[in-house]
């Protein structure tokens, strides 16, 4: 049986939030993967990579899995009624409603994480609480039919967890071997838990103005939810 997977492709997303899971999902046996946006016009990521949607919202009648990536463009999505209405329409028919990085804030803005445990990029994890979700500082979080991944690179871990959920652990192991996913980072600084206080403080200060913009957008989206 075909597993219909839709990944939201939107302007100024972080491309690895999308392409990491895409690489994994496209190797699933009997998977049909779509890149979804309002139209089929080219979409540029926050770093300038241009990608083509494969289907518009109106063409998407139903999915088994919906996945929302994150990135700077997520801020605009939280007040984009066309996007939020699409997610509200498609989610009830999905066996899994998922996200990577700050895509979980978009799910929250659509009212799809209220009462669920979820994760997000570490810099914005606390904002999930604005939408009635319980923030969890883990790389992949599963709560009933919601699966959320933390920041950027966690999208691969997240996608392998989804494959294991749908097809079993052995299928996920096969995909992991195909893509030679065998992390051995050169530095132990990929998480606030390992980066050390000085590095964490420096990076946090650098991104603070943007995080303040994101929080303002999250607070406004939460007010609209009521």
Extract the tokens encoding 128: 């999930």
Contact status, residue 100 vs residue 147, Cβ threshold 8 Å:
no
User: Residue 13: CB partners within 8 Å, gap ≥ 6?
Assistant: 43, 45, 46, 69, 70, 71, 72, 73, 74
CA distances from 226 to 52, 65, 223 (A): 35, 27, 5
Q: Are strands 96-100 and 43-44 parallel, antiparallel or unpaired?
A: unpaired
The CA-based dihedral angle spanning residues 60, 80, 149, 192, taken in that order and rounded to the nearest 10 degrees: 160
The string of DSSP letters for 67-83 reads: EE--STTHHHHTT-HHH
Q: Which of 60, 67, 94, 101 is catalytic?
A: 101
Cα angle: 93, vertex 12, 125; to 5 degrees: 65
Does 101 qualify as catalytic in the annotation? yes
Distance from C-alpha of 64 to C-alpha of 178, rounded to nearest angstrom: 24
Just list the catalytic residues: 101
């Amino acid at each position: 049986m075909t597993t219909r997977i839709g990944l939201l492709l939107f302007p100024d997303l972080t491309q690895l939030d999308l392409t990491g899971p895409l690489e994994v999902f496209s190797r699933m046996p009997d998977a049909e993967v779509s890149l979804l946006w309002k139209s089929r016009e080219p979409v540029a990521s926050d770093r300038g990579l241009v990608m083509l949607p494969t289907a518009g919202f109106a063409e998407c009648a139903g999915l088994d899995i919906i996945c929302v990536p994150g990135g700077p463009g997520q801020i605009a999505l939280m007040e984009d009624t066309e996007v939020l209405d699409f997610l509200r329409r498609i989610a009830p028919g999905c066996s899994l409603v998922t996200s990577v990085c700050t895509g979980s804030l978009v799910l929250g803005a659509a009212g799809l994480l209220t009462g669920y445990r979820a994760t997000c990029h570490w810099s914005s994890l606390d904002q999930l609480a604005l939408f009635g979700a319980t923030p969890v500082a883990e790389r992949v979080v599963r709560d009933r039919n919601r699966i959320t991944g933390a920041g950027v690179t966690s999208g691969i871990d997240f996608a392998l967890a989804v494959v294991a959920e749908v097809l079993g652990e052995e299928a996920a192991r096969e995909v992991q071997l195909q893509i030679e996913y065998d992390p051995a980072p050169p530095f132990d600084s990929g998480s606030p838990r390992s980066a050390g206080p000085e590095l964490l403080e420096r990076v946090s200060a650098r991104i603070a103005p943007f995080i303040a913009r994101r929080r303002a957008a999250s607070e406004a989206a939460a007010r609209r939810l009521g």
